[in-house]
Chains A and B, each alone.
Chain A
């Protein structure tokens, strides 16, 4: 099939960007979306033009590196699918496809479709862990976990940190990402000692970054390639207010 692409090109963080039109010819329906871009890039290199920069790594939908707006949808039109697992059979001959980077103040563009998502790392650093040093763990079966709790915790832990939730949100909010980790750990017995301090620390960090606020559009849930539920946002909010009543404040607040 032949396609017309409108791709965001931006040479660096401080440069102006623009959409550039490319023709993608003889695209096989069996190609992944990123393989289609590979083919376009090989054509660009042949012509002496710099190829399109985009983040990608595992190409099997688990590392969370890839991500782009495809016709206005984070990771494209197919639900529960990362851009690398989207295949060209989802498109038809003659289609026009607009490809843009994640658009969020907290994710500045580095080049073309590549953005800086380090804000996510800082949210985890603020408290997204159980504080247990290597060597101090009790026998694994000394802490039974009800299967139902373990299963829900797993649903939250499946987050790949790609940023689609933020990119799709009209407010660029990071509630789904943050709540996924708050819930994963908060649902497990191992996470209880730090449960309330964790949520205030992570929320404080989230709010100090350039994310917007959640106004319950639930676009994040629809865009999430791992189909993580907004129920976790409600859960995080409950924990957050409970923490405030318990007098928990982020350490940085003095």
Chain B
């Protein structure tokens, strides 16, 4: 298979404009003859569905939640980047492009990232026009802040609820189209497979999560906007329902899965409090602007933090990285926290935590100032832990937050299956090996509002009049497979709950394919994960019926797919014999313990093709860098 990213010719700043000019258009009167299926209603899915409906296409949109408004984009706190340069501090499309490629540790496509930076400015215009209540200055203009170590202030925000407000904007745009009848919305409906007719994606098979009914929907194209796969770790900052099933089912039908080992671990999350833990909660990394991170110098020092004198504390980030100190990038902060905990110097229950101490900041600025800056975060921390961070240091630990990998797509956001698109976190395209803060919202909305609605027209224009209905035998076959799989999960009737398997799988992936990986551990995981999957298929217990609401059954189907994905993640991590961004191979580090890339051998996208059984074949898309100079990151 030859991978063609279909990157347009020409200078980088002209590629998108030229491409738009050359793409075929669908006549306005013909748009209503096309049906497009959109799965997932987060930022990418809702914005794409609404925009395509505005253009005149008939859209069917699906989400597993009870309402489109609940997709997990809603939980994003920090903000959204855009190269508006409203602050007059030297930002530009080119600078945002450059920062994003560098931040991704040079493992993304230049052309895609440049387009992302270009349309970022349109996103802010669109959202402001929708009434998204962005933070404002007293003069009424939009406010910006610097985020995630960026040297310009290009992040737009709505208090700590930027994701919520952007999603509600897209949800409202979607609701308007539902009202006009251009979008038919199917909430509480889970996509369980994609249907191919003559090699083209022509529909989906879904299960109604209330009645249990399995049914088919046909369309001229299928768009997957189904988010990331962080829940393979069981514990993550993702919502409980987030899953890889839609993407994985597409992968099993032939769509390539790219860079699955690129996962992002966020350093400032509230640590696990016990075995009952069901998810992890992120706290904005802005806390690192004023908090000092430390652990006791000696392992097993169980004194309360207030009784540990200064000389017995190790402010390890300040010690190792004197110039960046507590503000090193996410991956560096996370790995160092793990290292000190592995040395037995972690704090709190289970020893998996480090202190984030505001005593100095309170002494220097006063409690009122600290409260004005971080009051809501301190309040949230106290609600969850029962501890008052004004009096005792916070405890934090890294947690899985975002997955850069996903379905391989070309410049048009189409997978290698014609007519099947992947947008937002579900695709692999723009963040390389590491995503910068405030870039996820930007990419989701760029794909949904401003890229896919154009590129999908180019495909549809070439497929007029190919009327496929669900009467086609292909639909019947896939429906039968889906129903068979549901029956199989219901009939195992084993002894262990779905969650118990999911927790065990998550721990394996976390231990061997988490913040730091090595060949020995990955090989161990490649033995243990398939063995556990085998046990799952023989011993999982799903009670109740498949003919009504059955949350255990829903989870079982998702966990079954996480088993296969988990194995591929380990395969990919083993194959990528270098360190880059969120992928840290212990065998490849500098003398100071920093990630060491191997540009000579690994400047490529790993795109995996599913073969028979549990085998995969690797395809490589080589990355060319014409504009950005590859350098080693240094934060000393």
When C-beta atoms are compared, the residue in chain A nearest to B52 turns out to be A134
Whether the Cβ atoms of A138 and B67 lie closer than 8 Å is no
Is residue B241 within 8 Å, beta carbon to beta carbon, of the partner chain?
yes
**Residues of chain A lying within 8 A (CB to CB) of residue B532:** none
Is residue A111 within 8 Å, beta carbon to beta carbon, of the partner chain?
yes
Is residue B462 within 8 Å, beta carbon to beta carbon, of the partner chain?
no
Give Cα distance in the complex from A188 to B136, angstroms: 12
**Residues of chain B lying within 8 A (CB to CB) of residue A12:** 548-549
When C-beta atoms are compared, the residue in chain B nearest to A37 turns out to be B278
When C-beta atoms are compared, the residue in chain B nearest to A81 turns out to be B383
Is residue B178 within 8 Å, beta carbon to beta carbon, of the partner chain?
yes
Whether the Cβ atoms of A145 and B276 lie closer than 8 Å is no
B144 CB to nearest chain A CB (Å): 11
- Selected contact of A63 from candidates B74, B122, B277, B281, CB within 8 Å: B74
Given contacts A53-B551, A59-B239, is CB(A137)–CB(B68) below 8 Å? Answer: no
Pick from B9-17, B159-167, B593-601, B624-632 the stretch touching chain A: B159-167
Is residue A153 within 8 Å, beta carbon to beta carbon, of the partner chain?
yes
Give Cα distance in the complex from A50 to B165, angstroms: 37
Is residue A87 within 8 Å, beta carbon to beta carbon, of the partner chain?
yes
Give Cα distance in the complex from A29 to B158, angstroms: 33
Is residue B54 within 8 Å, beta carbon to beta carbon, of the partner chain?
yes
- Tell me which residues from 498 to 556 in chain B have a Cβ below 8 Å from any Cβ of chain A: 499-500, 541, 543-544, 548-549, 551-552
Given contacts A53-B549, A140-B125, is CB(A59)–CB(B278) below 8 Å? Answer: yes
- Tell me which residues from 183 to 241 in chain A have a Cβ below 8 Å from any Cβ of chain B: 184-185, 188, 190-191
Q: Mark B235-250, 1 if CB is under 8 A from A, else 0.
A: 0010111000000000
Give Cα distance in the complex from A239 to B126, angstroms: 26
Is residue A48 within 8 Å, beta carbon to beta carbon, of the partner chain?
yes
**Residues of chain B lying within 8 A (CB to CB) of residue A55:** 66
Whether the Cβ atoms of A65 and B65 lie closer than 8 Å is yes
**Residues of chain B lying within 8 A (CB to CB) of residue A2:** none
Give Cα distance in the complex from A102 to B98, angstroms: 50
Main secondary structure on A side of the interface with B: loop
Whether the Cβ atoms of B125 and A137 lie closer than 8 Å is yes
Is residue B175 within 8 Å, beta carbon to beta carbon, of the partner chain?
yes
Given contacts A57-B70, A57-B239, A129-B173, is CB(A138)–CB(B278) below 8 Å? Answer: no
Q: How large is the interface on B (under 10, 10 to 19, 20 to 34, 35 or more residues)?
A: 35 or more
Whether the Cβ atoms of B279 and A59 lie closer than 8 Å is yes
Whether the Cβ atoms of A134 and B175 lie closer than 8 Å is no
Give Cα distance in the complex from A136 to B173, angstroms: 13
Whether the Cβ atoms of B129 and A64 lie closer than 8 Å is no
Is residue A117 within 8 Å, beta carbon to beta carbon, of the partner chain?
yes
Is residue A249 within 8 Å, beta carbon to beta carbon, of the partner chain?
no
Give Cα distance in the complex from A50 to B70, angstroms: 26
Is residue B616 within 8 Å, beta carbon to beta carbon, of the partner chain?
no
- Selected contact of B240 from candidates A57, A138, A185, CB within 8 Å: A57
**Residues of chain B lying within 8 A (CB to CB) of residue A244:** none
Given contacts A53-B549, A60-B281, A128-B172, is CB(A28)–CB(B70) below 8 Å? Answer: no
Given contacts A141-B142, A161-B69, is CB(A147)–CB(B137) below 8 Å? Answer: yes
Whether the Cβ atoms of A188 and B131 lie closer than 8 Å is yes
Given contacts A28-B274, A45-B543, is CB(A140)–CB(B124) below 8 Å? Answer: yes
Is residue A56 within 8 Å, beta carbon to beta carbon, of the partner chain?
yes
Is residue B1 within 8 Å, beta carbon to beta carbon, of the partner chain?
no
- Selected contact of B74 from candidates A53, A58, A128, CB within 8 Å: A58
Whether the Cβ atoms of B541 and A85 lie closer than 8 Å is no
B193 CB to nearest chain A CB (Å): 23
Give Cα distance in the complex from A28 to B241, angstroms: 24
Q: Mark B185-199, 1 if CB is under 8 A from A, else 0.
A: 101000000000000
Is residue A167 within 8 Å, beta carbon to beta carbon, of the partner chain?
no
**Residues of chain A lying within 8 A (CB to CB) of residue B453:** 134
**Residues of chain A lying within 8 A (CB to CB) of residue B141:** 141, 144
Given contacts A140-B128, A144-B141, is CB(A154)–CB(B175) below 8 Å? Answer: no
Give Cα distance in the complex from A247 to B453, angstroms: 38
**Residues of chain B lying within 8 A (CB to CB) of residue A42:** 497, 499-500
Given contacts A57-B72, A132-B130, is CB(A118)–CB(B500) below 8 Å? Answer: no
**Residues of chain A lying within 8 A (CB to CB) of residue B185:** 121
Whether the Cβ atoms of A129 and B278 lie closer than 8 Å is no
Given contacts A30-B385, A147-B140, A154-B158, is CB(A125)–CB(B176) below 8 Å? Answer: yes
**Residues of chain A lying within 8 A (CB to CB) of residue B70:** 57-58, 63-65, 161
A-B pairs, 8 with minimum CB distance = A144-B140, A137-B129, A129-B172, A140-B128, A30-B273, A137-B125, A154-B133, A57-B239
- The chain B residues found within 8 Å of chain A, CB to CB, are 47, 50-51, 54, 65-70, 72, 74-75, 84, 86, 122, 124-131, 133-142, 158-159, 161, 164-165, 168, 171-173, 175-176, 178-179, 185, 187, 210, 237, 239-241, 273-274, 276-279, 281-282, 383-386, 449-450, 453, 497, 499-500, 541, 543-544, 548-549, 551-552
Q: List 28 A-B contacts (CB under 8 A).
A: A30-B274, A31-B276, A35-B276, A35-B278, A42-B500, A50-B543, A51-B552, A53-B551, A59-B279, A65-B70, A87-B386, A121-B185, A124-B172, A124-B175, A129-B172, A132-B126, A133-B54, A134-B449, A134-B453, A137-B125, A139-B125, A140-B84, A141-B142, A147-B138, A157-B168, A160-B164, A184-B133, A191-B131
